[in-house]
Amino acid sequence: MQPLAVLIAAGLVGIALVPLARGSLRQLAFWTVFVIGAFAFPIVQWVSRSVWEPLAVDLGLPHAGIGVVVNLFMWAILGEFFKVAPVLLLGVLTEVPRREWFAYGVAAGAGYALFGAQQVITLALEVSRLSVSSPASTALAIVLRLFPILAHIATTAFLAWAASQRSLGRGLLVATAAQMVLGLVERGQASLGTVGGQSLFQVLFALIAVFLFLYVWTLRDRGLPGPSRQPAG
């Protein structure tokens, strides 16, 4: 890990973290879930590359069309499952109020997003040393990391909130679908060679991520008061 990349990623995560998790930032459990969420990212990478990708080859999945959709589905559902797992465990083992389910979902999503963002920012800082790069392009690449961060926090917070409302199964489907859509947008951006086309997909990704984040923000106090201990599908 490059320390500067981690610091920049942490700053971007903080922008999204504070509005949703106010009141929980002093809790040790919150930051414990945050750290576990960060470790979830390399675990998902390992499972995907060591287990799923060889299996996909054995199944003969193509690298285009339905194969892309299936791969994105697996990435999304693995990510959401490993992100929310510590929240579910904490909720089952302890009497966690509904608001804290949501806050711990924010923490898990933020940790996961931090690890992923610092990887991309590290690459952007390395590319910035090349003659083909410019300060503006590097800054843009870094700023754009805010939107995947917003999306990861939003989907995991939503999933944790859904679990507190005894709708874990439906919440997992919605969170996975949202991440799949964002993955398809990223694939569309990568497939275009024109600056205008890439910018269009970047704007689309940002709009979806902000919409998800703002929608989840409205859920923070919905369904209160009252504790809910057991998630259910």
CB within 8 Å of 227: residues ≥ 6 apart: 95, 96, 97, 98
How far is it, in rounded angstroms, from Cα 66 to Cα 61? Answer: 8
pLDDT the model gives residue 197: 59
Structural domain of residue 152, as residue ranges? 3-217
What average pLDDT does the segment 132-145 reach? Answer: 88
223 falls within a domain: no
Decide: residue 95, CB within 10 A, 0-12 exposed, 13-18 middle, 19+ buried: exposed
Question: What is the model's pLDDT at position 32?
Answer: 93
More confident residue, 133 or 77: 77
Give me the residues paired with residue 97 across strands: 227
Q: Residue 69: what pLDDT?
A: 85
pLDDT digits (tens, 9 = 90+) for 100-122: 899 999 999 999 999 999 999 99
| Region 168-185 average pLDDT | 94
Tell me, what's the pLDDT at 229? 41
Per the domain annotation, does 232 fall within a domain?
A: no
Count of domains observed in the chain = 1
Domain assignment present for residue 227? The answer is: no
In a domain, residue 191? The reply is: yes
171 pLDDT band (50/70/90 cuts)?
very high
What are phi and psi for residue 97, nearest 5 degrees?
Answer: -65, 160
Total-model pTM: 0.88
At 232 the pLDDT is: 43
For tokens 């694939």, the residue is: 187
pLDDT in tens, 36-52: 999 999 999 999 888 88
Within-domain flag for 19? yes
Residue 233, in any domain of the structure: no
Residue 107 falls within a domain, yes or no? Answer: yes
pLDDT band for position 157 (50/70/90)? Answer: very high
Q: Note whether residue 58 is domain-resident.
A: yes
